[in-house]
């Protein structure tokens, strides 16, 4: 059946809207939104399906959604803003701002290491209970005292959630305000974007309810079985669950808690979780990413020189924990174009999020992009990929990125 798609699509972008419509193979269980800014203009702003499959509440123009690890991209924009302001140096040791971080041999870790998943702190050694999620400073303190899982700077592996508290604590100490407040001040407010890390209470009713789709359920079940078979500590699993605060899929439906658990829980939605807890509209996300692109009159969020160093390659290749290729590539927190996540051109940068969320900017294509969905899938989830492919054909003119690198489907990150 055909889904009812609402919103606006400028002339010439219809194939993108068609790819978006294909997302709704089951419109009664899927909600989604897509926003694209091209050359400074919002050329696609569409949404459809249900915000809550349990009740049938429709996804509308103002529906907010948890963006999971797209949040790390937002924090990376914030960090780059502080670099631009001269307040932060990617090459400075973390201890320049956060002396306690030197415990257990971490003293030489740089700010860039935190951002590029090189800190050795992808998972907490001591479990983090759900009630601690609202106290980012306490979590940061505990990470500061923790022994790293590898020598910082010598290897990399994805820090699905701790990433946010690590760079967030540095940012808090620099700015004097919480990471969520700093994000509003330096990124969201200048762009007038409906985008929060730590959602104000009045916006809770607008948030879509996230559901675990069959492929994500199958993937996490497989991961858990593999970890049990392997024995030892399942560090990638602890990196997701924090040892008990969250379900492995990041959301769940708990009969004892009608709102749901993990990031469906309003308490968690209100907490500042700078690694995964951002909540936004697709329109807001696309606007923020578009605003990172240099403009002729210099009113973008980032200057060209800043963008250059922020998106310079810092981590690539095989990660510390075994994982099949293709592997992601990282700048200073930004997920760079790779076989694991294609953007429009080789110079695209952004961050995807668990369950199919994708948000990025592409300077060569002059695009800010965001796709959000509340039906979380994994593995060979190509919903966003097909939309990006359709867009590339329009704005770049070729199906692949033009540099001869084969187009890979592959692992998606959190």
Partner 1 sequence: MTFAREDHWVWDFWIADDGDRYHLFYLHAPTSLGDERLRHRNARIGHAVSRDLREWVDLGTVLVPGRPGEFDATAVWTGCVVRGGDGLWRMFYTGSRFLGEESIANIESVGVATSRNLHTWEPSRHPVVTADPRWYETLADGTWREEAWRDPWVFPDPDGDGWHMLVTARAGSRHAGDDDLGDDRGVIGHAVSADLEHWEVQPPLSAPGAGFTHLEVPQLVRVSGVDVLLFSCDARALAGARSGGRGGVWQLPVEAVTGPFDPSRSRLLVDDGLYAGRIVHDRAGDPVLLAFENGSGSDFVGRISDPVPLRWDAERGCVAVAAESRA
* C-beta closer to partner 1: residue 103 or 396: 103
Q: Min. distance of Cβ 379 from partner 1 in angstroms?
A: 34
Q: Min. distance of Cβ 173 from partner 1 in angstroms?
A: 14
Residue 174 φ/ψ, nearest 5 degrees:
-75, -45
Alpha-carbon span 352 to 336, nearest angstrom: 10
Whose tokens are 């509340």? That residue is 374
* C-beta closer to partner 1: residue 272 or 352: 272
Alpha-carbon span 324 to 411, nearest angstrom: 8
Active-site hit among 2, 28, 29, 69: 69
**CA torsion, points 51, 413, 129, 188, in degrees to nearest 10?**
-60
Q: Are 179 and 75 in contact (CB under 8 A)?
A: yes
Dmax over Cα atoms in the chain, in whole Å?
Answer: 58
Tokens of 353: 């999020």
* C-beta closer to partner 1: residue 138 or 218: 138
* C-beta closer to partner 1: residue 101 or 289: 101
Whose tokens are 């306490």? That residue is 138
69 part of the active site: yes
**β-pair type (5-9, 41-52):** antiparallel
Q: Min. distance of Cβ 145 from partner 1 in angstroms?
A: 5
Q: Min. distance of Cβ 126 from partner 1 in angstroms?
A: 7
Q: Which residues contact partner 1 by CB under 8 A?
A: 100, 103, 126-127, 129, 131-132, 135, 138, 141-142, 145
* C-beta closer to partner 1: residue 149 or 344: 149
Q: Are 156 and 315 in contact (CB under 8 A)?
A: yes
Helix (H) or strand (E) holding 67: strand 65-68
Q: Min. distance of Cβ 102 from partner 1 in angstroms?
A: 11
**Which residues are known catalytic residues?**
69
């Amino acid at each position: 059946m055909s889904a009812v798609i609402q919103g606006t699509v400028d002339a010439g972008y219809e194939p993108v809207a068609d790819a978006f419509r294909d997302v709704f193979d089951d419109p009664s269980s899927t909600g989604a939104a897509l926003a694209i800014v091209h050359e400074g203009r919002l050329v696609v702003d569409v949404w459809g399906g249900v915000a809550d499959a349990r009740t049938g509440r429709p996804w509308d123009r103002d529906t907010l959604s948890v963006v999971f690890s797209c949040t790390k991209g937002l924090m990376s924009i914030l960090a780059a803003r502080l670099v631009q302001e001269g307040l932060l140096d990617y090459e400075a040791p973390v201890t320049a701002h956060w002396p306690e971080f030197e415990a257990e041999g971490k003293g030489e870790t740089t700010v860039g290491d935190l951002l590029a998943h090189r800190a050795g702190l992808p998972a907490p050694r001591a479990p983090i209970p759900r009630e601690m999620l609202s106290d980012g400073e306490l979590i940061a303190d505990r990470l500061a005292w923790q022994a790293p899982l590898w020598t910082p700077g010598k290897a990399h592996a994805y820090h699905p959630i701790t990433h946010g508290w690590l760079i967030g604590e540095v940012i808090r100490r620099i700015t004097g305000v919480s990471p969520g407040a700093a994000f509003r001040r330096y990124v969201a407010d200048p762009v007038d974007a409906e985008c929060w890390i730590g959602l104000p209470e009045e916006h809770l009713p607008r948030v879509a309810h996230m559901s675990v789709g069959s492929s994500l359920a199958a993937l996490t079940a497989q991961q858990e079985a593999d970890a049990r078979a392997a024995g030892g500590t399942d560090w990638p699993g602890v990196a997701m669950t924090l040892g008990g605060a969250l379900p492995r899929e990041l959301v769940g439906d708990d009969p004892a808690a009608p709102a749901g658990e993990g990031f469906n829980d309003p308490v968690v939605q209100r907490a500042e979780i700078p690694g995964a807890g951002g909540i936004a509209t697709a329109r807001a996300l696309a606007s923020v990413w578009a605003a990172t692109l240099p403009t002729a009159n210099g009113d973008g969020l980032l200057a060209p020189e800043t963008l250059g160093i922020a998106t310079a390659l810092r981590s690539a290749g095989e990660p510390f924990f075994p994982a099949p290729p293709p592997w992601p590539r990282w700048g200073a927190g930004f997920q760079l174009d790779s076989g694991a996540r294609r953007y429009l051109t080789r110079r695209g940068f952004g961050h995807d999020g668990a369950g199919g969320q994708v948000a990025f900017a592409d300077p060569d294509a002059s695009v800010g992009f965001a796709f959000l969905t509340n039906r979380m899938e994994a593995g060979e989830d190509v919903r966003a990929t097909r939309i990006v492919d359709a867009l590339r054909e329009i704005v770049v003119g070729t199906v692949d990125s033009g540099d001869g690198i084969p187009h890979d489907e592959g692992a998606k990150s959190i």
